Chains A and B, each alone.
Chain A
Amino acid sequence: MTAVIQVENVVKDVRPGFGLRRKRVLHDVSLRIERGEIFGFVGPNGAGKTTTMKILMGLIRATSGRATILGHAVGETEFRREIGFLPENPIFYDYLTGRETLEFYARLSGLESRARRERVALLLDWVGLDGAADQRLRSYSKGMLQRVGIAQALVHDPSVVFLDEPMSGLDPLGRKAIRDLILRLREDGKTVFMNTHILSDMEMVCDRIAIIVAGRVRYQGRIEEYLASECGQVDVTLESVTPELAGVLESQYGAELRGVRERIEFRLDSKHVPAVLRAALDGGAGVSEVSPHRPSLEKVFLTAVRDAAAADHRADGESDA
């Protein structure tokens, strides 16, 4: 597969306030996003998600490293007709109507007059704003503004779309609408790079994720693999379990049994599964279900953030010593 977005060892230093001392906010960040993927970039507030996206949008410059989109350095301009961008909490010219806003961005994107009119009408319909198209944006709700933001990002039919916290501040209905839009982009073969800290939404739409904490990418890959790598436990349900067998499971494998009468459920380390199943079958029990334990992404994510913070704290302590 072709890498559509590539970030290689990007470092960003900033100078807070007027001091000379620099603070590193991105440490050797590397990402690779393939064509047609929906990629979720997740991390707590201040982790470096928006900074990375701003570098990709050419709004700020990396201190070192390299970032490309569709093979072009992010500082170039012309290739931007192939990308769309929705910033976090977008603010628009509120003296324009919804239609004028999309016309303005379509014109900047280089759409000719007829194509512009058609595309604007299509997008207004797509995001459900055709009824309010001729109202000034100052009368729009937050959800409507977010949809205008999505529409302006797509008005020139880009092949790569960047969304910074697209669901932030929206009610459940608004989030569902945006999720559906993102899934529709996947159907249309677009590549989507999405910053978010709403894990449930990300879990529903993203093919792959990267987790960034304190400016360092801690994981990059598929969500299922990440969850599996962070767990390694298996849920087992057995039927017709005798008290003797239950005793063996508890004493030899450390399983915490939960159950009613002869049906029990327990969780154990995946390496014990063959031996436990053999013992169960030898003891006359029936095996109802064996499935890998799937912890919530939120729980795993919070653990990763805590671990990363602890590691950074230790590293700081060692460097001070």
Chain B
Amino acid sequence: MSSLTRIYTIAANTVREAVRDKLMYAIFTVSVLITLGCVVLSTLSYVEGTRIMQDLAFTTMRVFCAATAILIGINLLHREVERRTIYMILSKPITRSEFLLGKYAGLVATTWLMLLCMGLVFAGVSFAAGAPVHPGHVVAIAMLGIEMVIVVAVAILFSSFTTPMLAALYTVGIYVVGHLTQNLYHLATASGDAGVGQIGVWLYRVLPDLELYDLSIQAVHGLPIPAGDIWLPVTYAAGYASVLLLAASLLFERRDLR
């Protein structure tokens, strides 16, 4: 049996767990209600009502996908250890790293599934409101999915060595800062102080740049999306998530599961 099959088995079970969990349905229902609420809000504007509706709907998708990734991600390893379900799994021929990667892949797939459902709701609401839906929207939603590749990896990294409460705190912190790192970079380069500038640039390089994955403005306004705005962030996400997962694996391999 290959390593990939073992990872797939854990991932499939993680998706199944999420799909059979009421939390997912609660999050999805609230996100649908808010998306519908966006239609009502957009009617308050005399101009560009449909664009405002789509912009708000994108924000809803972003927030609820990140909430799913963080809420499930911070508990993913902790709950397995706390409830001792991991004992029986690790007694089988599977390494801790394979287990961790399986949980990671499963949660990424879960957020993508959630995103797909929310994307369908977005399309339905847009059609109903007479707003255009074009490939740019699909690309922007897909980039949200790529952003989750990083967010889930951050949650898993913290989940591998700390409590859910602290993991939530750290992950939310990284998520918020991740959307501000470009501002941080601009501030650093504009700073007159060389030391402050260097620290700012260093932080920009270490922290994830999650604004790369926000193509909602281009999508909503029908602007062209250059290929470089897709493949560069995708490559960045693959590299960044790989480093985080490697660190999480090393920490998890060394941990005593008491």
Contacts and interface: CB of A to CB of B under 8 A. Distances in A.
Interface string B57-94: 00000000000000000000000000111011111111
Given A60-B257, A91-B84, A108 B20 contact: no
A61 B256 contact: yes
B55 to A, nearest CB: 37
A309 B257 CA distance: 28
A80 B91 contact: yes
Interface residues of A, number: 35
Given A108-B9, A108-B94, A90 B88 contact: yes
B51 interface: no
A110 B93 contact: yes
A105 B89 CA distance: 7
A174 interface: no
A84 B89 CA distance: 10
Contacts of B6: 108
A85 B93 CA distance: 12
Interface string A49-67: 0000010011111000000
B90 A57 contact: yes
A105 B92 contact: yes
A78 B93 contact: yes
Contacts of B134: none
Given A105-B88, A110-B93, A59 B9 contact: no
B163 interface: no
A84 B21 contact: no
Contacts of A77: 93-95
Contacts of B256: 59-61
A109 B92 contact: yes
A226 to B, nearest CB: 30
Interface string A71-110: 0000001111101111101111101100000001101111
Contacts of A78: 93
Nearest to B92: A108
B13 A58 contact: no
Interface centre among B1, B5, B21, B89 (most CB of A within 10 A): B1
A154 B234 CA distance: 44
A108 B16 contact: no
B48 interface: no
B54 to A, nearest CB: 36
A87 B88 contact: yes
Given A60-B256, A80-B91, A87-B87, 5 more contacts: A59-B90, A95-B17, A96-B13, A153-B91, A156-B92
20 contacts: A54-B257, A77-B95, A80-B93, A81-B92, A81-B93, A87-B87, A90-B88, A91-B83, A92-B85, A93-B17, A95-B20, A107-B5, A107-B9, A108-B9, A108-B89, A108-B94, A109-B92, A109-B93, A110-B93, A162-B91
